[in-house]
């Protein structure tokens, strides 16, 4: 029985127009990745479960798609495991593979596995789909595309500078103005936790702080109290709730706040380095912000943290993010490899460009000219011209059937094909082609040479 045609929730089909638009974004990102010296790699769509499990925290484990083993896998499960009905214990017995959850962890695995073939520092980019068993929402899918660039094997802060410039270059090329590159540093967060004497609650502290723009000052304080952070400690960091001003003013404020924290001072030094570099080489369209409430990827980020927020007039969360991780490959047994990387969220950038109507108009235009089919001998005459045009790299096609003129014209119009050639008996005798501009309606007879010249 034929089932109703459908796709799993959180996944999408892409129409020709959508693919064209996606390719436009991908091409822009890819060109810039290459311009900045990154080389492409690809990793499998699925990995061994133990490569992924435990790398993203408990929440992450829950969101990893697990792949059922092949064969009669239940036979291999012991009666004990079976009868306890404990999914956590049961799952690994029947599933040894999982869909990849992001590009960073598989990249770390790749680096460790191929360390002897890689020339460090290794600059790689990767544009692939990743999968999350999340509940879909606006701009949130279960299959989506990430575009990552990472450098591994260098702890130079110039890499951070380059990534800020890379973000700026891509969004400038896409004509997306008003993008904010939000910057923070794990060392600043550690410093803050340190000076209030709550270093052991760093994660709770930062996760709560991260919600400042969402639940407000009171909400954050309440969450901190709930997590066991003392009232006194919260008072000590009161200034960061009114953290206003430009980059320099914020740094000054942090300097006094973190004067007693060694790690905090280190974070400030890094921020200053980036600020100096960007001051000397200003960004084109993006804006660099210092945002101490930014706390993403704390499971592995150790230095800089980036997050890209869409222009304020669109309701979309972050459209990219990244950061510095000092020991990502350590979990796979390769120590002392500092890395830093960023990611572009293709699907969200798409939604933003769509909402702001920023896709170029010609993007869905592919075929430049279509030939009307008047019958077999006329089709042969047309096909010779089609072949000549294609030889010159011009996308041309012949309508396959000798259908009614109206139908063929409508087809050209719907396909957004800018030119139509009408060549019937009269034109054949005169050895010309009647070229019609679909936009202006203009029409004139040209010979084959002139026809080709129109398009090159």
Partner RNA sequence: GUGGAUGUAGCUCAGUUGGUUAGAGCACUGGUUUGUGGUACCAGGGGUCGUGGGUUCGAGCCCCAUCUUCCACCCCA
Q: Does 75 bind RNA (CB under 7 A)?
A: no
CB of 182 to RNA, least distance (A): 11
DSSP structure class, residue 275: H
Binding-site member from 139, 153, 264, 303 for RNA (CB under 7 A): 139
Considering the complex, state which of residue 47 and residue 210 has its C-beta at the smaller distance from RNA: 210
Residues with Cβ < 8 Å from 367, sequence gap 6 or more? 395, 396, 397, 415, 417
Binding segment toward RNA, per CB under 7 A, in 91-99, 155-163, 228-236, 421-429: 421-429
Considering the complex, state which of residue 75 and residue 406 has its C-beta at the smaller distance from RNA: 406
Beta bridge partners of 125: 40, 149
Residues with Cβ < 8 Å from 84, sequence gap 6 or more? 90
The token pair at 385 is 């011209």
Q: Does 343 bind RNA (CB under 7 A)?
A: yes
Q: Does 373 bind RNA (CB under 7 A)?
A: no
Q: Does 59 bind RNA (CB under 7 A)?
A: yes
Considering the complex, state which of residue 132 and residue 186 has its C-beta at the smaller distance from RNA: 132
Q: Does 354 bind RNA (CB under 7 A)?
A: no
Other Cβ atoms within 10 Å of 53 Cβ, number: 17
**Burial level of 210, CB count in 10 A (0-12/13-18/19+)?**
buried
Binding segment toward RNA, per CB under 7 A, in 21-29, 183-191, 228-236, 407-415: 407-415
The token pair at 27 is 């091409």
Site for RNA in 424-453 (CB under 7 A): 424-427, 434, 436, 438-439, 441, 443
Binding-site member from 211, 222, 287, 415 for RNA (CB under 7 A): 211
Say how many residues touch RNA, by CB under 7 A: 60
Q: Does 102 bind RNA (CB under 7 A)?
A: yes
Closest CA to 324 of 339, 336, 311: 339
Closest CA to 227 of 251, 248, 243, 211: 211
Q: Does 226 bind RNA (CB under 7 A)?
A: no
Residues with Cβ < 8 Å from 30, sequence gap 6 or more? 40, 125, 127, 147
Alpha-carbon separation of residue 134 from 59, 349, 407 (angstroms): 10, 19, 45
Binding segment toward RNA, per CB under 7 A, in 45-53, 149-157, 260-268, 342-350: 342-350
Binding-site member from 68, 281, 405, 453 for RNA (CB under 7 A): 405
Contact criterion met (CB below 8 Å) for 46 and 100: yes
Site string for RNA, 299-338 (x = CB under 7 A): x-------x---------xxxxx-----------------
The token pair at 164 is 């800020």
Closest CA to 308 of 193, 146, 156, 158: 146
Q: Does 141 bind RNA (CB under 7 A)?
A: yes
Distance of CA 335 to the CA centre of its chain: 28
Q: Does 144 bind RNA (CB under 7 A)?
A: yes
Residues that bind RNA (CB under 7 A): 6, 8-11, 57, 59-60, 63, 102, 132, 134-142, 144, 146, 207, 211, 214, 296-297, 299, 307, 317-321, 343, 345, 347-348, 374, 404-407, 409-410, 412-414, 422-427, 434, 436, 438-439, 441, 443
């Amino acid at each position: 029985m034929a089932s109703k045609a459908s796709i799993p929730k959180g996944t999408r089909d892409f129409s020709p127009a959508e693919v064209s638009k996606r390719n436009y974004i991908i091409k822009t990102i890819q060109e810039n990745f290459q311009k900045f010296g990154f080389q492409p790699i690809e990793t499998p769509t699925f990995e061994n479960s133990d490569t992924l499990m435990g790398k993203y925290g408990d929440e992450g484990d829950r969101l990893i798609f697990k792949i059922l083993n092949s064969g009669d896998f239940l036979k291999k499960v012991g009666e004990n495991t079976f009868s306890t009905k404990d999914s956590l214990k049961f799952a690994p017995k029947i599933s040894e593979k999982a869909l990849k959850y992001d590009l960073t962890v598989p990249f770390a695995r790749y680096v460790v596995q191929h360390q002897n073939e890689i020339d460090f520092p290794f600059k790689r980019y990767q544009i692939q789909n990743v999968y999350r068993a999340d509940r879909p929402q606006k701009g949130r899918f279960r299959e989506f595309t990430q575009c990552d660039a990472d450098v591994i094997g260098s702890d130079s802060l110039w890499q951070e500078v380059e990534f800020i410039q890379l973000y700026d270059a891509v969004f400038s090329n896409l004509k997306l103005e008003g993008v904010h590159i939000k910057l923070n540093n794990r060392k600043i967060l550690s410093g803050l936790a340190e000076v209030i004497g709550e270093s052991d609650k760093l994660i709770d502290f930062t996760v709560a702080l991260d919600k400042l723009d969402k639940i407000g000052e009171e909400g954050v304080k309440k969450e901190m109290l709930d997590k066991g952070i003392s009232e006194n400690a919260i008072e000590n960091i009161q200034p960061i709730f009114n953290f206003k001003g430009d980059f320099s003013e914020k740094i000054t404020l942090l300097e006094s706040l973190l004067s007693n924290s060694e790690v905090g001072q280190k974070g400030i030094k890094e921020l200053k380095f980036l600020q100096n570099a960007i001051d000397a080489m200003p960004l084109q369209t993006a804006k660099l912000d210092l945002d101490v409430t930014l706390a993403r990827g704390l499971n592995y980020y150790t230095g800089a943290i980036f997050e890209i927020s869409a222009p304020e007039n669109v309701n979309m969360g972050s459209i990219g993010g990244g950061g510095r991780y000092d020991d990502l490959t350590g979990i796979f047994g390769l120590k002392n490899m500092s890395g830093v990387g960023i990611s572009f969220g293709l699907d969200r950038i798409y939604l933003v460009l769509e909402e702001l109507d920023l896709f170029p108009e010609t993007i869905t235009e592919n075929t430049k000219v279509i030939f009307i089919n008047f019958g077999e001998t006329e089709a042969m005459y047309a096909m010779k011209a089609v072949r000549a045009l294609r030889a010159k790299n011009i996308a041309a096609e012949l309508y396959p059937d000798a259908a009614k003129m109206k139908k063929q014209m409508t087809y050209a119009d719907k396909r957004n094909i800018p030119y139509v050639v009408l060549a019937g008996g009269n034109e054949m005798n005169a050895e010309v082609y009647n070229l019609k501009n679909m936009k202006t309606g203009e029409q004139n007879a040209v010979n084959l040479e002139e026809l080709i010249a129109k398009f090159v």
